[in-house]
Structures are given as structure tokens and as C-alpha cells.
Structure 1
Amino acid sequence: MKGWRGVEPRTRRHIVYVTAADPDRSVVASVPGLWLAKNGYRVHFVIPGDPSNATLSTPYVSAPAYHVRLGGMAGLGRFVKTLLRARLRFGSGAVYWITGCVSALAASFALAGMSRKRIIYYNCDFLEPGRHPFFEYFERSFARGAGSVASNEPNRARCMASIYGLSSVPVVLESRLPAEWPFPDYNPVERTRLLSMIGLSDSEDVRLIVAGGGFSRLRCSEELLSALRDLPETYILVFSGMPSHDESSCEGRVMISRLGLTRRVVCLPYLPREDLIRTFAASDIGMLLYRNDGIGNYYQGPGRLTEYIGSGIPYVASDFPGLRTVTLEHSLGALCKAESATDIAAAILLLGQKNSSERMQERQRLRRAFRKELSFDRQASRAEELFRQADKDD
């Protein structure tokens, strides 16, 4: 029997891949399932979205999916109901790959009584101890009862095992895009469009810095804006995820105005995944700034990293252990003390000093580094091994 992609499937057992992260905004939570689907496994997704849509479509691969509208207790109820629907369709013999604490909460009810060996739990967004006790309770219980557990960063995995009392350290599947993910080329037209939004035109001296998200204290946006004020006027910052009605966005706009930066900051709304990556590809420098407010941020493993380097741009990152290792080992960007505007500005200047020819060469080098060394494919065998363990008959 032919599978979803018209090829013979590699296994008869289905994988039900569940995540509460919308793939159109944060696709990295779905990448293990997408890679497995691309490589011949029978994968059916349960994800946020319009329930009338029966497909998860990405430029990398498409797969069948149940979509569910999330939000509040009613959304959680719909999540449980949709996961029950998947269980009724695929049975207790399927492998259930549950991603994130919200999915773990829904699965605690929908998969009750199932054999633990068929359950994989993957945490790619560390739940800080004591900060969300309700979700923490269910995640701890679910992780302890799962046949296999995975995390997206090695230090997070060690902490998770100790805090939750797991019998072994989780397998590490870092938040990275697949090597075959199609990234757009550098597009001067898109760059010109972004600059025109604040009445500017492009030139050799312009450096476009992309924050990779909206205004956020946890992402050190206040310090970033203060750093921008001290940089040359040709350095322009782009925020995405800045809708006019959002409280934090309003706070950010007030600070932008107070610092006299309205002609140096582009504020974009929430963008679909491909539009966001197109913005990255038209920029010069990405930002990966995190405040040292707990285990999750200190041991960061952001999916944004491969979105930047796959787009061909270096980044400035918080000088934390995990980010430091990958950044220096592969020469991906510069490090800084993220709570120091002076340090941020110095790191941005370090990356911004290259001329246009040097930056174009850097784009090609970073794209190669992504495909050859830093894509999800380099660790995909671990995802396959997790499935093989769950696939074994009793």
C-alpha cells in the first residue's frame, strides 16, 4: 500500500505527532515529524489551525493532519477531543510523539491507559521549575510515564532528568531545520521594501538588523534599542510580531519614540513562516538575545539559529554556554553580555564592519555550514532510534 507521498512506507506503524506550537509561526517543534514524513514514515499530525484543513503544508514536505483551534480551557478541551479522535483512528498500536507541556496535558487524558512504550515525549521549550506549577505537574507525570523522553538542548536534558526524577537523561534533538529546507536567496527588492517603510533607501553603509520577534523584556529588547541609539544612523532594526494592539508592542513603540528611533526601527506584524524567513534573508545581522532569568534561557537552544544561518546571516547571541559553543565552533556570529547595551552595540559593529562583497561571501559560507554541519539531518538518526524503540513489539 502506497503512503502519503506515493512511496512505499518504511513501517506499517503510524506515528501520531502532536504539538501545540503552530507550524506557521514556530515550525521547529514539528521538524522531527516532518523529517520522518519526508523520509517515508507514516506520520499524521495533530496541530493548531483551521479544523477544515486536513493537511500540514510546508515548503519541505506536506503531511496529513488534524487541526484544532486552541485557546483557553475550551481550546484545551478541543485538543483532548482531537487527540482522542486520532487514538480511535490509529489505535493504541500507533506511536504517539507528544511535543511540549500543553500537548502533554492533553495527552495525559486522551492517552490514558495506553502502553507507555508507544509514547515519546519531546520538550523543546524548557518549563522553568516553579514558574508554571499546573503544567509542570502534568509534564513531570507524563514524562515519567513515557517510554522515551527527548529535549532540545543537552544541559536542559540533564536538568530535566534531575528535576523530574527521570530514569535516564533525555535524548537530545536540537531545534534545527532540515538540510533540504528551501531558503530564499538574498533579495534586494525585499530589502528596499523594508527600508521604504520608514522612508529610507538602501546604500553600502546600511546594515539591517533583525530581532527575530517582537519587543520583549526577556529578549533584552530595551537593551537592544539602547544599543541601536549608540550605533551609526545607517544601522536599522526590524522587529516582527509587533501588532498595534499588543501591550508589549505598545510598550516597545513608546520606547522607540522616546529614544528618537522612529526613523530607524521597522515594526512588522506577526508574519507567516515563509515571509519571516524572507525578511531574514534580506537582512544583515540577526539577534539571539536572552535574559539570564532561569535554566531555559541560560541553556538556550533556539530554532531561530538555523533560520538565521540558513538564510545566510550571522547573529549576535547572549554569551551563554550552549550558544557560545555552537557560535564559536562554527564561526556563526558574535557573543555579548545581553544585559549591556554597550556590549550589544560592540558585537553588532563587529559583524557590521564587512563590506557588501565580504557579506555576500559570508552568506554563502553560513548557508553551507547549515546544510553540512548544523541541520536536523545530522541528528535525525536519533529521531529514528526513538521511533524504533517505540516500534518494538512486546
Structure 2
Amino acid sequence: MQHPYLTDDHREFRRTVKKFLDKEASPFYDQWEEERLIPRSFWRRMGKMGFLCPHLSEMYGGSETDWGYSVVLIEELERVGSGLVGIGLHNEIVVPYLEAYGTEEQKQKWLPGCTDGSIITAIAMTEPGAGSDLANIRTFAQEEGDSFIINGQKTFITNGIQADLILLACKTDLTASPAHNGISLFLVEEGTEGFSRGRKLNKIGLHSQDTAELFFEDCRVHKDNLLGDAGKGFYYMMEKLQQERLIVAISAQVAAEEMLRMTVDYVKSRKAFGKPVSKFQNSQFKIAEMATEVELGRAFLDQLIAGHMRGEEVTQKVSMAKWWITDMAKKTAGECLQLHGGYGYMEEYEIARRYRDIPVSGIYAGTNEIMKVIIAKNMGL
């Protein structure tokens, strides 16, 4: 049966990506987890191979590929480890804003660096007092001559420590009604006066992914760094958040598949009471249940990706996929760790890391509770 979106070219690309990651990422991933950072040299190697922003036009260093190639990259990076999520954020979340809403001058200035790995990007929405409720952000940009003066704080920012270019959401009109009409987006470069980074945040999981606090104290940015139109930032974010949530679902699906695979291998080799753990009915039932849910998630996700690639309206289904698949993956992590027994609690077994890494998937890109609000609203409830 024909795959909903993958072709032989995509499959050949997957083999190329896997071969690269087997050599350049997998052997070093534990070290990156300990160091709490993905080295910039790896980003450079990704860029040299054409694995950064492949969907971009060739004039900016891209390969003008369809989104199926991006999906392959997201999946293969997740198979190495969830801590590589920052590359997907760079490729498929931040750069698409610049591609869609940037001026030609902005694109020429920054996109080539985004494709060769010399520019790492981050998106700064969340604040200490505003997460899913983006309309209530307090970071403020006040117009002054040919510039904006920005004051505020952001937190939980993926790629925050290494980012060379920050896509920043802030208020430009405090009197707008409704409040979200006062939000604008700016591009803030590393080294801009008044911009500083706080501590690298110490997370439960995703240890190799750098996450930071960002501070803006009378940070002056030129009007040329405004992305798109003033006051349209909230609408830009709502449009692009659908792809972000789909990426989270894809990563969670792959994580669930990987956890199931390693657990099946483990219970076949581990013996208890004189026979493999896989021969116990409880183990068989648990694995059968997980395998069914993983298969259901994959079938729904592949059709959703195909619809997204065709340009269909997928807000409702993306919200469904984001909450259900991430919840399924969290459940899978708990069951798989249990089937590993005491060894599942040991750091040398990958299931322990997966168990730590997966919970945040139900939180970022809009909590799963917000996904259910969206679904209910679209149903007219």
C-alpha cells in the first residue's frame, strides 16, 4: 500500500540521515547529556550536510524540499535522543517565521546562516507569568525614533544559551483591545546592548538541550528588526503554532516507538523464574496494548502529516494528535520502565532517560489541557 507522503527519495534520504547520525551523534550523545549542551560543531556538520532548513529556497542555502524531508529529519533526530529537539525547533518553528513574514533584506541577512549552522535560532514567547496565555505577556517594546526599546524577561527558552538570533514576542501597544492585538515580533541578535542570558536551567530531562532565561533591559533594536507588521504577532504565532504542535506529536510518536522496541528486546532477553519475561502473560498483554496504541498513533499521525503537506486546515486534528500521542507516549514510558524492573531505574538503560524526557511533551507548544480547550471550542461546545 502506498505511503501517505513518503516516497523512495524520502527513504533514501532517511538512510543518509541515519548513517550521518550513527557516526556524528549517537556515539557522543551520552557525553552531550552530561555536558548539558549540543556542541556548535554538530550544528555546523548538520549544515554542511544540508540537514538544516532543507525546505528553504536554494538562494538562501536550502534544497527546496517538501515537508516530508523535514519529517524524516525530526524522526531520526528523536531516535538518537529527545535532547536534539532544538534542531527541529530551529528548522521547523523559528526559521519558518522569518521565511513567511520577513522582508527580503531580513531573509538575505539571516537565512543563509540558518542553513549552514553559523546562526542558531530560538523563539522567546514564555514568561515567568505567562505560558499558554500568550495575550498576557508583559515584555514591552516602546517606539523611540528609529528603534524600539525593549524591557522584559523570558524563560524556558529552548536554544537560549547558544542562540545567535532570538525571535521575540512582546507588547508594542499596552492599550490594545483585545490585548493580543498589541503583540509584535522582533528579531534580536546576540550582542545587542541590553540583551543578556540568565542561567542555563536545570531540567528533569532533555539534559543536552540548552534551555535558558533571557533578559531585556533597555534593549535597543532597530525598526528593521520588526518581523512583519506591528500588532500582528499573535496572529502569526497562532498560524505557526500548528506546525510546532505537529512536530511535538511526531517526536512523541517516535519516542513511543523507540521505547516499545527497546522493551520488547529487553523482555525477550531478561529471564525471571527460569523463563524469559516475555513469556509471562502480563508482559504479553502490556506489550500488546502498547503496540496497539503506538500503531493507532502512527496511522493517525501519518494521515495528518499528509493533510498538512497538502495545505489543509488541520488545527482540530493537530490538537487531538498533540495531546493524545504525548499522553500515550508518557503512558508507554511508565509501562516500559516497569517491564524493565529494577534495571529500568538505572541510568545506563536508555528507558530511564526516555522516562525523564517525555513528560514535557505534554506541556510545551501549549499544554494538553489547552489542546482540549481548542478541540471543544471547535466542536461548538
TM-score over 0.5 for the alignment?
no
After TM superposition, the score normalised by the length of structure 2 is 0.26
Report the structure, 1 or 2, having the larger helix content.
2
After TM superposition, the score normalised by the length of structure 1 is 0.25
